[in-house]
Amino acid sequence: MSIRRFALAAIAGLSLSAAVQAQTTLLNVSYDPTRELYSEFNTSFNKHWQARGHEAVTIQQSHGGSGKQARAVIDGLRADVVTLALAGDIDELNKLGKLIPEDWQSRLPQGSTPYTSTIVFLVRKGNPKAIKDWDDLVKPGVEVITPNPKTSGGARWNFLAAWAYAEQKYGSEAKAKEFTEQLYKNVPVLDTGARGSTITFVNNNIGDVLLAWENEAFLALKEEGGENFEIVAPSLSILAEPPVAVVDKNVDRKGTREVATAYLNYLYSAEGQRIAAKNFYRPRDAKVAAEFSKQFPDLKLVTIDKDFGGWKSAQPKFFNDGGVFDQIYQVQ
Amino acid sequence: MSRRTSPVIPGFGLTLGYTLVYLGLLVLIPLGAMFVHAAQLTWSDFWAIVSAPRVLAALKLSFGTAFVAALINGLIGTLLAWVLVRYRFSGRRIIDAMIDLPFALPTAVAGIALTALYAPSGLVGQFASDLGFKIAYTPLGITLALTFVTLPFVVRTVQPVLADIPREVEEAAACLGARPLQVFRHVLLPALLPAWLTGFALAFARGVGEYGSVIFIAGNMPMKTEILPLLIMVKLDQYDYTGATAIGVLMLVVSFVLLLLVNLLQRRIETP
């Protein structure tokens, strides 16, 4: 008897709290450096959404390493949208979680990537080691700080940028491998994530150059102590494309497909693009890009799809067990 | 027929039931699930994963540094317990409370703070760097972080036992002509050893599994300063759940065997 009564009370309590939570909530699961971008974007989206006659939405953000975040969603975190560091991580939502269709990347413009970034160098004030380009990173006595590509999405872009430079300059894959081997010999610490590497370089004063997301590098300059650093743009880098996607299975269960789709589409609007640019992400929209053209150095950029055959071929070749990155450390 | 002597306090069935449910939900099911998941691998696949050079290097590093850290805490921790129990001085209670702080602090905070201090440009690290060696980003740094995190174990297990040994026992031994060292060797040590071993084993086990505080100070260089829990994270980041559980099972089995040995050793000491 008493158990049944308890169960009834529990059910009554649950439906009550459901009634209280009638307001729609949206969970955006993202990677580390987008914290500032999305807190500004969410406010703007809410205004836009209400102006079109809808109720306000509560938007929750979750940040962490890109791979870890993807695993959390696969393991049952009810994300409505994911905005991660690389397409490879969102691919796993399809492969392992069956949460989204295989063609997710073609559902939104520009390969579902509303903003991009690239990899630049952050050096100490006055550039004491005269670092100008990738060649300077393999010189003896230069210490390079970059996270471990096995655990960090950003570090994978770093690795591929170095590889692309060497391959174009020296003309062969074997030479590119030698070059990256040399480069990683100059790495004294491999942190697990981009923020960890920034702490090592900025706060602990280790190393001569930090390989960083362009937006992270700009952010570091803006923060306290930022005057102690300079950004150096190499002659060639990689177009880092952090994509976004609606998580179909979750939005259908929660009934939030409409608002989730509108949320991602708003990233492509002029206002969304401007917020991205203000937070140092490169906008896709040509007009907004022109407005902010002074902010971003002009670089030659290779892309993951054209130059590496997409993450589906780059990930196993370079970063999985026994891949190129592992081989670098097996030599020693 | 029944040999079970009925205890004075009733409720054996109920309490045992709770014990089993509790242990089952919290310990056995999660650990069992790991073994089940790892069982998807064939024996040779499992062997290939756990005998890879990088895994073996990490195994040696993780267990080696945890052992050394537990040993250091075994010595220093006993000393701390001794000072706290046997002497009265102002500030004793504050120091006593401080012992537990490493447990309360988030391990990542400890790791970042220790790295800032012991990095080559840090407050302490610069002296080491002047002397020509490095602390952070070497196995020495890992040992340091583990020593910090596992400090309370030996102190807290030895302290109450030490407090329970009456002063009179030592005095009696001294009256019978025992030299201080003999008192320590024949009176104190046998009484302390079982508790000390418990503290040592706890510190060791905790050190083997520690991730948060180590990851910032380790440097994470493959084959050199990569700990086993990091390799598990690396596997997970490749969505290789089975590979990750294989390393987890390896850690669990090695830890279990070592803890069992400590337990047996303890029993031999207690029942001579």
Q: Distance, in angstroms, between A32 CA and closest chain B CA?
A: 15
Q: Can you give chain A as a three-state secondary structure string?
A: CHHHHHHHHHHHHHHHHHHHCCCCEEEEEECHHHHHHHHHHHHHHHHHHHHCCCCCCEEEEECCCHHHHHHHHHCCCCCCEEECCCHHHHHHHHHCCCCCCCCHHHCCHHHHCCEEEEEEEEEECCCCCCCCCHHHHHCCCCCEECCCCCCCHHHHHHHHHHHHHHHHHHCCHHHHHHHHHHHHHCCCCCCCCHHHHHHHHHHCCCCCEEEEEHHHHHHHHHCCCHHHEEEECCCEEEEECCCEEECHHHHHHHCCHHHHHHHHHHHHCHHHHHHHHHCCCEECCHHHHHHCCCCCCCCEEECHHHHHCHHHHHHHHHHCCCCHHHHHHHHC
Whole-number pLDDT of residue A238: 96
List, for residues A8-30, the tens digit of each pLDDT value: 555 544 444 444 445 789 999 99
Whole-number pLDDT of residue B180: 87
Domains and CATH numbers, chain A: 2-113+242-291 (3.40.190.10), 116-240+299-331 (3.40.190.10)
How far apart CA A124 and CA A137 sit, in angstroms, is 14
> Could you tell me the CA-to-CA distances from B124 to B115, B181, B212 in Å, in that order?
10, 36, 21
B159's enclosing H/E stretch is helix B151-164
Q: Do B220 and A190 touch (CB under 8 A)?
A: yes
Q: Are strands A115-124 and A229-232 parallel, antiparallel or unpaired?
A: antiparallel
Whole-number pLDDT of residue B208: 94
Whole-number pLDDT of residue A17: 47
Whole-number pLDDT of residue A6: 52
Q: Choosing among A66, A71, A195, A321, which should be mutated to test the B contact, i.e. which has the most B CBs within 10 A? A: A321
How far apart CA A256 and CA A263 sit, in angstroms, is 11
Q: Choosing among B45, B123, B129, B220, which should be mutated to test the A contact, i.e. which has the most A CBs within 10 A? A: B220
Q: Provide φ and ψ at B223, rounded to 5°.
A: 70, -15
Contacts of B33 in chain A (CB under 8 A): none
How far apart CA A271 and CA A276 sit, in angstroms, is 9
CB of A317 within 8 Å of a chain B CB? The answer is no
- pTM here? 0.83
ipTM of this predicted complex? Answer: 0.77
CB contact set of A287 (below 8 Å; sequence gap of 6+):
A270
Whole-number pLDDT of residue A223: 83
Q: In chain B, which residues have pLDDT < 70?
A: 1-7, 272
Structure tokens, A274 = 């401007």
Q: Do A191 and B220 touch (CB under 8 A)?
A: yes
Whole-number pLDDT of residue A7: 53
CB of A319 within 8 Å of a chain B CB? The answer is yes
Q: Are strands A58-62 and A25-30 parallel, antiparallel or unpaired?
A: parallel
User: Could you count the other beta carbons within 10 Å of the beta carbon of residue A314?
Assistant: 22
List, for residues A265-285, the tens digit of each pLDDT value: 999 999 999 999 999 999 999
Q: Choosing among A92, A148, A198, which should be mutated to test the B contact, i.e. which has the most B CBs within 10 A? A: A148
Contacts of A200 in chain B (CB under 8 A): 115
Whole-number pLDDT of residue A115: 96
Whole-number pLDDT of residue A15: 47
List, for residues B12-51, the tens digit of each pLDDT value: 889 999 999 999 999 899 999 999 999 889 999 999 999 9
CB of A186 within 8 Å of a chain B CB? The answer is no
Q: Do A190 and B116 touch (CB under 8 A)?
A: no
CB of A72 within 8 Å of a chain B CB? The answer is no
| DSSP string for residues in B72-135 | HHHHHHHHHHHHHHH---TTHHHHHHHTTHHHHS-HHHHHHHHHHHHSTTSTTHHHHHHTT---
Domains and CATH numbers, chain B: 12-41 (no CATH), 44-270 (1.10.3720.10)
Q: Choosing among B238, B240, B242, B245, which should be mutated to test the A contact, i.e. which has the most A CBs within 10 A? A: B238
How far apart CA A145 and CA A164 sit, in angstroms, is 19
How far apart CA A273 and CA A282 sit, in angstroms, is 8
Whole-number pLDDT of residue A329: 84
Q: In chain A, which residues have pLDDT < 50?
A: 1, 12-21, 332
Between A95, A200, A329, which is nearest B223 by CB? A329
List, for residues A42-79, the tens digit of each pLDDT value: 999 999 999 999 999 999 999 988 889 999 999 999 99
Q: Distance, in angstroms, between A96 CA and closest chain B CA?
A: 8
Whole-number pLDDT of residue A1: 39
Residues of chain B whose C-beta is under 8 A from some C-beta in A?
53-54, 112, 115-116, 119-122, 136-137, 215-216, 219-223, 230, 233-240, 243
